[in-house]
Structure 1
Amino acid sequence: NIFYWYVMAFYKRMDHIVVVNPTFIEKLVALGVKRDKITYIPNFVTKTQFHPLPLEQKQTLRQQFGIDQEAFVVLGVGQIQERKGIWDFIALARENPQWTFVWVGGFSFGSITAGYDELKKVLADPPANLKFPGIVDRAVINGYYNVADVFLLPSYSELFPMSALEAFSTGTPTVLRDLDLYRAIIDGYYLPAKDKADMQQELATLAIDSDLRQRLSEQALAASERYSADYVAGIWQKFYTEQAALGKR
């Protein structure tokens, strides 16, 4: 169609294309873009905004957020929409009243959001153990990552898992739906779950295994170094240097 040919003409006019996810490379090659014109450079998370907090501050934040100090807290972050797997998150909350679930985010697309009417009903009357604080400031969301015992993202599709990287930067153990996208970028740093039943099992294990939570926290912080501003800036510097050298030939 006309749109397809317009997009392809646009891509092919570029001297070089930088993608934020390596899984996009094969798709572009299949569309006719030369492989040597494509480079993968990831997004990054700023550690001045997302970082671990001291235990005392976490306790204070739990009090401010209305979360019991002894609660096992499962955090989700993102737009409230079906693509994010929000219904699995809600179902897990209903099936596990012994845990506290928090979803930070709102209806970025308003009433045109898929499932808007039904989701609004849940937000108006959520289970007692499920909190929806809405869209919050980035400084505040760092606090939510820190008070969580686990970050759970049940999303069915993502362009780049920024919220997972934010969780990594705070050292929060992470469970993600098992997607090719994540395996290509952050494999080994999180627990994969193919469906809600798997998510239930991983959460149940994490709720009682503090050693596993500690190991995942350490892995998350290690992963965050690969997606820090300084590290990614180094990748960009190398890329620009190489491109400048090619341009002089």
Structure 2
Amino acid sequence: MDWDVANEYFEWEVLKEWKQYTEKKKVNIFCSTYNVGAKLPLTERSGTGLQQLLSDQEMLEAYGGAPDIYVLAFQEIVDLSSASSYLLEGEAKLEWEQQVSEALGSGYDQLCSKSLVGLLLLAYAKKEMKEHISECLISTCAVGLFGTVGNKGGIGIHLKVYDSNLCFISSHLAAQQNNVQGRNQDFWKILENLKFIKTEESVSKLEMEIDESKKMAKENGLKKKRQVMPPATMFC
């Protein structure tokens, strides 16, 4: 790998002055995971339960208020032993999405949602927080039967909150209490294969931010200094 001296020097100088151009912000994030045993969230029974769970007063007091972001992971949203589990995945996903959205209320918007057979990973944010979140990227990795079927595996979500990159992963690993080696193998396969690739939307957003920064620099009178030192590179 080539060593770029100038770039490394620039990065080092910037890092030394990080306190001058950074601002710390506190973000409350609620993360939880549930194995629902192939049970759908029945409205008359689970709707209130979900609302109590996600809006519990003791929890809100501990958080110092309602969480800014909710990340909820579910396993076995369908019966994995049934041949029809793949067909029922979409229905179960929609049902859980609806119930969680209703439990959180109108103050939250869904950031992203992804299912992988029995796995489901949901992310929500406060409406006023959503504008500070970008690059919502999703990746999945199946590690089930023959190492490829999605009855076991992982889902990952990447979020850029302000200028910090966050990653949330939900996994469902090999069964049996004594099968530690199998779960470790699943873990490493998921870790190695989850890839978060920026979409055209996130790239265009980045370009827009660069253009905006150039506009701000121009409006505030920031100008690039004239080069007074001759180039150090010599050609023979």
TM-score range, shorter chain: under 0.3
Q: TM-score, normalised by structure 1?
A: 0.23
Higher strand share: 2
Q: TM-score, normalised by structure 2?
A: 0.24
Higher normalized contact order (CA 8 Å, seq sep 6+, divided by chain length):
1
Larger radius of gyration: 2
Higher helix share: 1
